[in-house]
Amino acid sequence: MKSKVASFSVDHTTLDRGFYLRSTYKALGFYPLRSYDMRFRAPREKEYLTPETIHTVEHLMAHFLREKLPGKVVSFAPMGCKTGFYLIVKGWTSQRKVMEAVAEVCREQSHLRVKNEVPGLTVEQCGNPELYDIEGSNAALAEYGALLEELLAK
Ligand SMILES: [Zn+2]
């Protein structure tokens, strides 16, 4: 079925792990919003992130990316297919700058030891604060951070 959803026109059978600009929107007719596909896993490998890991990475990125890119992050959200995340950034920030910020968060947040280091995992701040996996998140961020370093070095 044809669809206007940008990611539905991407062939997921050949899609590799990576950091992709998926669409650019214009808010108010001129202000750019860029939607990135942060693909942690290649769909064809069928090695999906667990809900616990996804939720932990979601909290870490949502919090720390906003510190790295003040006023720029509109939204950071998991993909329902469990292979990655969507990041929407406003303004004219270059893709490279965004990738560098994500790589820094990966590097800085991939050695956590306890739940308290994850922002917002309380009953007041989150819908399911017991859904987390520190080791899984450390591993996923270390792996994705290494991939970004590779891409940035090219
Ligand atoms: Zn939560």
| Centroid of ligand 1 to alpha carbon of 33 (angstroms) | 24
Domains in the chain (CATH in brackets) are 14-153 (3.30.1360.80)
Residue-level pLDDT at 104: 98
Alpha helices in the chain (DSSP H): 51-68, 95-108, 134-153
- Identify residues whose C-beta is under 5 A from ligand 1, the ion: 126
Quickly state the pLDDT bin for 27 (edges 50, 70, 90): confident
| Centroid of ligand 1 to alpha carbon of 38 (angstroms) | 19
| Centroid of ligand 1 to alpha carbon of 128 (angstroms) | 6
Residue-level pLDDT at 44: 95
For the segment 121-138, what is each residue's pLDDT rounded down to a tens digit? Answer: 999 999 999 999 999 999
Buried b (16+ CB within 10 A) or exposed e, 34-54: bbbbbbbbbbeeeeebeebbb
Quote the pTM value. Answer: 0.94
